[in-house]
Structure 1
């Protein structure tokens, strides 16, 4: 046993180090299980905090959206983040499908209802997930709808940086129009809570 001195008013008191740190209980079955759970919790925390932030935009037409985000905004195609991939796999009940058989170059992702999705890198640790499902706007206008203002502000900054024609219709909730290559008007709208 190791002795640790404690000096108090000119008296030296020795304590046994082993009395405060029960080594035998740490290496017991229960102690090892607790250490494994703590290591697992730390690994999950590190995984989830390093995962990219994902914004979702619902669009009227995925092909028009692909042309807009890849062509005009010049966003690079991103891989589906693991936390989204595994969540979809659990929801669909396809846990028997090995991810090795799925192409990593495709921009489509499995969704409920069999629809497609597009994934783009918006910033360093921020991705844009484009899904179908938005209705067409006034005069069959393409509509891109988002629930997060920060997402649309990032897209607007990208539109401004690329010097595309746009018009801000409303600031709160954010709503602006932008023209694509084929002169189609795309309405970008924030959904108010």
Structure 2
């Protein structure tokens, strides 16, 4: 494994270990980005994945990267080389994808951006590990097999750590975080659309505070 890959994977690990939950955010208005990120950080959730699912996502990443102290903002739903380059230019600290492809892995190697690729099977996890990806996103976590499936991967694939994302809630997060191969979970429950639309940053900070108190042994 190259020194560059080792360094990038270490950066991914450092982001995942900032808190038990990585906030997964879909933004419709760029003006919500900064106060939302500040509320999450205030509550104890500094790792924020802004998904590239809306037209304002890149501008939102740029605003958060420039204006919010103490945040590690990343780009989610990265699907191609163009997304990698745009996210890096916007100031993202990491990139996340729901799965992976040969072209996407090649794009990641050409980018300076630390990358958390997605996997949902043992074979996919092994393929990523062969390319040097010690840290992976298990997605969609609940539909792809749930807690029991990921627990079963721990013994045969001891070198892989997951950020489990997809279908996890405040009520089920602890079950995932108790697994030896799950270092963090991705959570969209921290930023419900109604609270974001209402600008209720106090309520979002409270949700972040509850999430930050979840303890991961990983």
Q: Could you say whether these structures have the same fold, taking a TM-score greater than 0.5 normalized by the shorter chain as the test?
A: no
Normalised by the length of structure 1, the TM-score is: 0.28
Structure with the bigger percentage of strand: 1
Normalised by the length of structure 2, the TM-score is: 0.25
Structure with the bigger percentage of helix: 2
